[in-house]
Chain A
Amino acid sequence: MTAIPILKERESQIYQKGTQPFQMKCGKHSLAGSVSQRACVFCGSRVVLYPIADALHLIHGPIGCAAYTWDIRGALSSGPELHRLSFSTDLQEKDVIFGGEKKLYHALSELIDIHQPKAAFIYSTCIVGIIGDDVEAVCKKVSKEKGIDVLPVHSEGFKGTKKDGYKAACDALFKLVGQGSTEGISPYSINILGEFNIGGEAWIIKDYYRRMGVEVVSTMTGDGRVDDVRRSHGAVLNVVQCSGAMTFLAEMMKEKYGIPYIRVSYFGLEDMSKALYDVAAHFSDKPEIMEKTKEIVREEISHIYPELQKIKAAVQGKKAAIYVGGAFKAFSLIKALRYLGMDVVLAGSQTGNDTDYETLRDMCDDGTVIVDDANPLELSKYIIEKKADLFIGGVKERPIAYKMGIGFCDHNHERKTPLAGYSGMLNFAKEVYLTVSSPVWKFAPARQLSVNSDQLLTDFNPRPNTEHRTLNT
């Protein structure tokens, strides 16, 4: 086997449990010349704001940044779909020389006239920071003329990492918070933060809360609406989904409006149930909520339990590798995979921090490799060495797995299937099962010896009802 070299500078970002003292470095800027799987500040901002469906999203810069993010995610809307369009000022050479403000002004005004959005987000990309456009001033001017909020998002790609992009997005959102009336909001109310309605996930989650008797004031930002964000300060509790992207906003809302927040995750039975219980516990003055919650959890789990058990029997003992954007997602995935009886042999993230990696270390078994900001060569090295049967990641990781004859499950924002909630867990399990048990692996040269596909062919066939429930509230 060709040895895959690991760059010396990268060694401190890779840890193998049980073999060395834990001294992982993270939060570093990606090493020049390594092929990082990370994106940029702009990408972070887009992740957070993209699903707001009645806002205009204009990307100020040359065409690429907009073209590559056109309709890129599976974030669904129950109404307007402005977020699925790609708008760019498409700067040309003369704009770079003479400045792009004029073009920004005209483009923005025109787009607002055509689409009548509730608000507009203007994303600055790399060169805008260099050519010195006063984006703020243009936004103010247009905002005044058109009478809507026009919010600059400082997302120049090179000015930090994806996390700084999350923060820039939260800053922009925070400007909307507090503008609307909070009249009529129930004392048992929450905002859902960090849930982007991929494949309709926010609808699934919102339905649980509705059944619990908890009002959801706004979902940030899945199936998001500007007016909901405006009145979100009327909620009693912020429930922040794990991604870490929106803790910034929760902090700001706590400081200014005194709204407490809790962190949750909606992936996997364990974390999903904990999320609902934690919210119910917050409203302990109304015990019916907890009663209801228990009922819902019981009902939902009993609904999917038999199928999950069949899948578990089929995938038990298989080895999985996880490489995702945020470390929190990795935690939930590890638990979910364990539930299915699978072993995690590699766990990594693009943007985890010190505590995240400590948590990961504590969760993982001996021998598990933990990586920060990995590149394709490292990922391939470890999935091969650790004989993974399944890789969980995003589009960029998929071909690495496939080339080596390893199953793959997309757990990124680009997927179209909801994996959150109880029905989402079933979808996840089915996807894991389907990819791991495909008969095609027996033709994969790298796996020919290690896979005995017959052993996977049980009479269980989840195909007929792969269709997911999308609950539109």
Chain B
Amino acid sequence: MNNLAIKKEEYTATKNACKLCTPLGASLVFKGIRGAVPLLHGSQGCSTYIRRYLISHYKEPIDIACSNFAEETAIFGGGANLKIALENIRRQYDPELVGIATTCLSETIGDDVPMFIREYKDMCEGQELPPIVHISTPSYQGTHMQGFHGAVRALVEGVAEKREQDGRINLFPGMVSPADLRHLKEIMKDFGIPFTMLPDYSDTLDGPLWTEYQRIPPGGTPVEEIRAAGSALGSIEFGSVLAMEKESAGRSLFKKFAVPCHSMGLPIGVDETDRFFNTLSSVSGKPIPAKYQEERGRLLDSYVDGHKYVIEARAVVYGEEDLVASLVQFLKEIGVIPVLCASGGRSGHLQKIIAEMIPDDEQKNIRILENADFTDIESMAEELKADLIIGHSKGYTMSRRLNIPLIRIGFPVHDRVGGARIHHIGYRGTQELFDRIANTLIEARQNASSAGYTYM
């Protein structure tokens, strides 16, 4: 197994990165809290670039404030700027929560943000302040995923309380799409389980047109529900790589409030979705609604109808580690070979997880690439003669050059509309993925055939 992971040289450049920086993930989480304003502590560029990157995918207004370092700030520290920023945010946005994420700059100069927050609170004595949650997100210590999971954890650690148990379940879905989040809410409602889902940017980042301008788009997890997370029946946390990390929101709630934590992969594919539904049912003591049994039935039926089109197709999969791991699990279920599984993340867990899912990975010559960039992925995709690329839109260049079809999933999708509405999870999300994969392969065959059959 060891010979399969190709470690990158220590001192080479990253060429066309397959990862983003930490505060992006944190900002995304804060966008999923009702009435929250994300605030990046550092200089202007980072927040503007991150906004632009997010807006190009979600196509929604995304305000992320910044403490706007100037040259003196970098010398004397960012305390004063942070306080002015908090003050101005409160005046302009009247937020229900402010989520502060640091940037490389404020981290490198060693700003003590928790102290600044304490000082600010002292300054505001007697006023009613919204919760101010802080997460340290230097980008040289991880990718956007560390920022994402870290912000979820910071929120529960900063806000959740122990109260009377009210039968709720906490859901920590990870970095999924607004469509996925909506689906999860639907499932919880159909089960009739009260829940706290953190974050929930299904409305804030995929909302309707407005009658009047919204300073902060409506929707998101209410702060009140985050408070209640400490008194839940249990937590369900998606992400198989996250499950192997030392810390997470779910585990933190377990340690602090003894809320049991159930970790699992993203529910993509029948097996993982079964696991999710069964866990929901056993934790809540409620039966799985018939509607989902039906969805499952249709999905299995389509697996059978389409199995010959997809079997042994060779796929390149890349993206966040949690997503890649779950996709591999799903692809295995339908007989697609994930010949290359790549991520810009470097948790060190991906290889082990995939080896467990596909014990004969070596025979199948499956490559697993951590800390990968698109130059690595492209050259390997070419060598491996892939039939299919599955990942976000930054793989388009390689798809075009190698003439291998790209199925756009995850984040970002910058070259199509509807990125926010791509559905990946549950039986229904899997169904959509399966149909797209099968149809892409059918289309490739159809296009390649000289006869141009109208039946396939």
Instruction: Please give the residue numbers on chain A whose beta carbons come within 8 Å of chain B beta carbons, in ascending order.
Output: 1-2, 4-5, 7, 9, 29-43, 58, 61-71, 85-93, 95-96, 102-103, 105-108, 110-111, 126-127, 129-131, 157-160, 375-377, 380-381, 384, 395-396, 398-400, 402-405, 443-446
Contacts and interface: CB of A to CB of B under 8 A. Distances in A.
B16 to A, nearest CB: 5
Interface string B39-55: 10011111111111101
A7 B91 contact: yes
Contacts of B3: none
A111 B15 CA distance: 9
A90 B18 CA distance: 12
Interface stretch (B70-78, B236-244, B248-256, B430-438): B70-78
B108 A64 contact: no
A158 B14 CA distance: 23
5 contacts: A2-B214, A31-B84, A39-B44, A96-B140, A381-B213
Interface of B: 10-17, 19-21, 23-24, 39, 42-53, 55-56, 59-71, 73-74, 81-82, 84-89, 91-92, 103-105, 108-109, 138-141, 143, 209-215, 394, 397
B223 to A, nearest CB: 20
B11 A106 contact: yes
B220 to A, nearest CB: 17
Contacts of B63: 35, 375-377
A29 to B, nearest CB: 5
Contacts of B209: 402-405, 443-446
Given A40-B44, A70-B394, A396-B55, A33 B86 contact: yes
Which of A29, A157, A443 counts the most B-chain CB atoms under 10 A from its CB?
A: A157
A90 to B, nearest CB: 4
Given A67-B17, A93-B140, A445-B210, A36 B66 contact: yes
A91 B61 CA distance: 31
A186 to B, nearest CB: 39
Nearest to A58: B13
Nearest to B109: A130
Given A35-B65, A126-B105, A158-B43, 9 more contacts: A30-B66, A35-B64, A64-B46, A68-B52, A88-B13, A111-B13, A111-B15, A127-B140, A445-B210
A176 to B, nearest CB: 22
Contacts of A5: 91-92
Given A71-B397, A90-B13, A90-B14, A64 B20 contact: yes
The 4 closest A-B pairs by CB, nearest first: A40-B45, A64-B21, A33-B88, A33-B85
B306 to A, nearest CB: 34
Contacts of A33: 39, 65-68, 84-89, 92
Given A65-B45, A92-B140, A131 B108 contact: yes
B67 A70 contact: no
Given A400-B61, A446-B209, A38 B12 contact: no
A431 B88 CA distance: 37
A228 B20 CA distance: 35
Given A32-B84, A34-B88, A395-B56, A64 B48 contact: no
Contact of B45 (A39, A92, A404): A39
Contacts of A85: 15-16
A91 B73 CA distance: 22
A63 B14 contact: yes
A169 B406 CA distance: 37
B236 to A, nearest CB: 31
A70 B87 CA distance: 34
B23 to A, nearest CB: 8
Contacts of A380: 61, 213
A64 B39 CA distance: 17
Contacts of B70: 29, 158
A87 B12 CA distance: 10
A109 to B, nearest CB: 9
A2 B140 contact: no
A30 B45 CA distance: 11
B366 to A, nearest CB: 26
Contacts of B13: 58, 87-90, 107-108, 110-111
B14 A66 contact: yes
B71 A158 contact: yes
Contacts of B85: 32-33
B140 A38 contact: no
Interface centre among B12, B47, B81, B89 (most CB of A within 10 A): B12
Contacts of A30: 44, 66, 68
A7 B85 CA distance: 12
Contacts of A69: 49
Nearest to B56: A395
Contacts of A63: 14, 17, 19-21, 139, 143
Contacts of B10: 103
Given A30-B44, A40-B48, A107 B11 contact: yes
Residue of A58, A64, A157, A445 most packed against chain B (CB within 10 A) = A64
A403 B17 contact: no
A399 B59 contact: yes
Contacts of B65: 33-35
Contacts of A34: 65, 68, 88, 92
Contacts of A130: 74, 105, 108-109
